[in-house]
Amino acid sequence: MIFESLPTTPRSEELLDKAFSRAARSGRAKSGLEAQESMLQTASSILSDNLENVVTEWPDFGTVDPFYYELADAIVDVDELRQSLSEVTWASRQIAEIRREYQSKMRKSDPDTARKHRKQAFARMADIVEEIADDLLRVGEARDSLKNLPDIRPNEPAIVVAGYPNVGKSSFVNRVTRASNEIARYPFTTKGVQIGHFERDRIRYQIIDTPGLLDRPEEDRNDIEKQAASALEHLADAVLFVVDASGACGYPLDVQMELRDAVAARFAERDVPVITVCNKSDRSTDAEADYYMSIETDEGVEEVLDAAVDAVGWSPDIPPSRQE
């Protein structure tokens, strides 16, 4: 997960406290002009290094995988975040600039004048850091909400399981992934997104159950859900659309098929195959589907999995970076 390694973002007061108290300590170890120079050097490098570090661990949103972009954008406003990151970069450079300016002013000056310059430099640096206080807060909040996102990897093949509630999506994911499941909390759905893994021909597949995201018509979704659905469109290499012909799920089949058509149309734009699977075949098979299965009796389940793997179309002999 690319957001996992993001470091904590300091708040402006914390950063200033740290920089100026270290500077005071380094000044106490010396005297005269040397003390003032050392203080300037210490404070400015703590400030500009820390500000730079805030930015460098973030991925470049201009080139990041679209799945991550959409995902991040569903949770934080990426445009605002990028703006704040560039303000922080600006501040880091300003601090370095101020240091250079006062270093040359202090050169060969007497200790009293040097002290005056050093104080002036500190005041200007503090102004700069205070100016970006809100940006640091915004970056810190974004980092906190993105850091613990579940580990979905855009460079591993992904099979997305979609369909109306109660049709047996979770039962299927549980059945094919056994105990290797992880229920992940995403901020845009009250139910957890479930991510399971299974292996075929040494390739690891992610299988993702998406409650609350692809189980309603597009127009019933709010903006954040739309964004999350869009992230899934970027991620999926194949979609299993599960229907329940028995009606036990509580939704008539024609309504389920309408949603299937809408989902299929959306994914067709990205050339992602959508396979229609009629589940609960122990009760009814009265639906036009590509495959029929029953989680209850285990009939047809392996065939559905094979079909999904085929649809993904990865070859075990090609490295992941060159698949597709």
Ligand X SMILES: Nc1nc2c(ncn2[C@@H]2O[C@H](COP(=O)(O)OP(=O)(O)OP(=O)(O)O)[C@@H](O)[C@H]2O)c(=O)[nH]1
Residue 59: contacted member of Mg ion, ligand X, none (CB under 5 to 8 Å, by partner type): none
Stretch 114-133 residues interacting with Mg ion (CB under 5 A): none
In the bound state with Mg ion, the residue whose beta carbon lies nearer, of 138 and 169, is 169
Q: Is 87 in the site for ligand X (CB under 6 A)?
A: no
Residue 308 burial (CB count, 10 A):
26
Q: Is 169 in the site for ligand X (CB under 6 A)?
A: yes
For ligand X, the binding residue among 200, 216, 283, 285 (CB under 6 A) is: 283
In the bound state with ligand X, the residue whose beta carbon lies nearer, of 125 and 287, is 287
In the bound state with ligand X, the residue whose beta carbon lies nearer, of 65 and 282, is 282
Q: Of 120-128, 145-153, 231-239, 280-288, which segment contacts ligand X by CB under 6 A?
A: 280-288
Distance separating alpha carbons of residues 220 and 278, to the nearest angstrom: 24
In the bound state with ligand X, the residue whose beta carbon lies nearer, of 6 and 243, is 243
Residue 298: alpha-carbon gap to chain centroid: 35
Q: How far is CA 268 from CA 97, 99, 237, 322, in A?
A: 53, 56, 11, 22
Per DSSP, the residues of 67-105 read HHHHHHHHHS-HHHHHHHHHHHHHHHHHHHHHHHHHHHH
Stretch 136-165 residues interacting with ligand X (CB under 6 A): 165
The residue with tokens 């503090």 is 126
Q: Quick one: 110 exposed, middle or buried, by C-beta within 10 A (0-12, 13-18, 19+)?
A: exposed
Residue 115: contacted member of ligand X, Mg ion, none (CB under 5 to 8 Å, by partner type): none
Please choose, from the candidates 216, 209, 176, the residue with its C-alpha nearest in 3D space to the C-alpha of residue 193.
209
Least Å distance, CB 175 to Mg ion, is 12
For ligand X, the binding residue among 71, 277, 294, 311 (CB under 6 A) is: 294
In the bound state with ligand X, the residue whose beta carbon lies nearer, of 220 and 271, is 220
Please choose, from the candidates 22, 49, 26, the residue with its C-alpha nearest in 3D space to the C-alpha of residue 36.
26
Residues 6+ apart with CB under 8 A from 179: none
Stretch 193-222 residues interacting with ligand X (CB under 6 A): 211, 215
∠ CA 21-24-29, nearest 5°, is 135
Residue 246 burial (CB count, 10 A):
18
In the bound state with Mg ion, the residue whose beta carbon lies nearer, of 170 and 294, is 170
Phi, psi of 209, rounded to the nearest 5 degrees:
-95, 135
Q: Is 281 in the site for Mg ion (CB under 5 A)?
A: no
Q: Is there a contact between 197 and 159 (Cβ–Cβ < 8 Å)? A: no
Residue 134: contacted member of ligand X, Mg ion, none (CB under 5 to 8 Å, by partner type): none
Q: Is there a contact between 197 and 182 (Cβ–Cβ < 8 Å)? A: no
In the bound state with ligand X, the residue whose beta carbon lies nearer, of 49 and 290, is 290
∠ CA 70-194-66, nearest 5°, is 15
Q: Is 170 in the site for Mg ion (CB under 5 A)?
A: yes
Residue 290: contacted member of Mg ion, ligand X, none (CB under 5 to 8 Å, by partner type): none
Name the residue whose CB lies closest to Mg ion. 170
For ligand X, the binding residue among 131, 282, 285, 290 (CB under 6 A) is: 282
Q: Is 177 in the site for Mg ion (CB under 5 A)?
A: no
Binding residues for ligand X, total number by CB under 6 A: 16
In the bound state with ligand X, the residue whose beta carbon lies nearer, of 50 and 206, is 206
Q: Rule CB under 6 A: which residues touch ligand X?
A: 165-171, 211, 215, 279-280, 282-283, 294-296
Q: Rule CB under 5 A: which residues touch Mg ion?
A: 170, 211
